[in-house]
Amino acid sequence: MTRFFKEHWDSLLDWFSGVPDKISEIIDTIVKWFDELPGKIGYAIGFAIGTVIKWVADLIDTVTTEVPKIIAKVVEFFTALPGKAYNAIIAFRDKVVLWGKNVSLPLRKK
């Protein structure tokens, strides 16, 4: 029993003797983390600013290339509108005339 107690006591003493080193490691890790923090914050801010600048540049590029295309399509639509309206009216007239002929044909045969 004393042997068992002595073996565990020695390992317990060894563990406690390592505690100051562990505390020192923890403190070093905390100091290192705080030491790296300004760089990490600077990187994050720089990355965010860079992302916003890229987004604005892409937006300007899209606006300068796509808006003229949209305007051209709108102008094309309104330019073609009178011709389309004329063709629709003529097609409607032709259908009415054809319907009138088809309706009056059986009446003329009687």
Confidence bin at 2 (pLDDT 50/70/90):
confident
CA atoms within 13 A on the CB side of 83: 5
Structure confidence at residue 110 (pLDDT): 60
Closest CA to 22 of 109, 47, 43, 30: 30
Task: Report the largest interatomic distance among the alpha carbons of the chain, rounded to a whole angstrom.
Answer: 134
Q: How far apart are CA 25 and CA 31, in angstroms?
A: 10
User: pTM of whole model > 0.95?
Assistant: no
Q: How confident is the model at residue 1 (pLDDT cuts 50, 70, 90)?
A: low
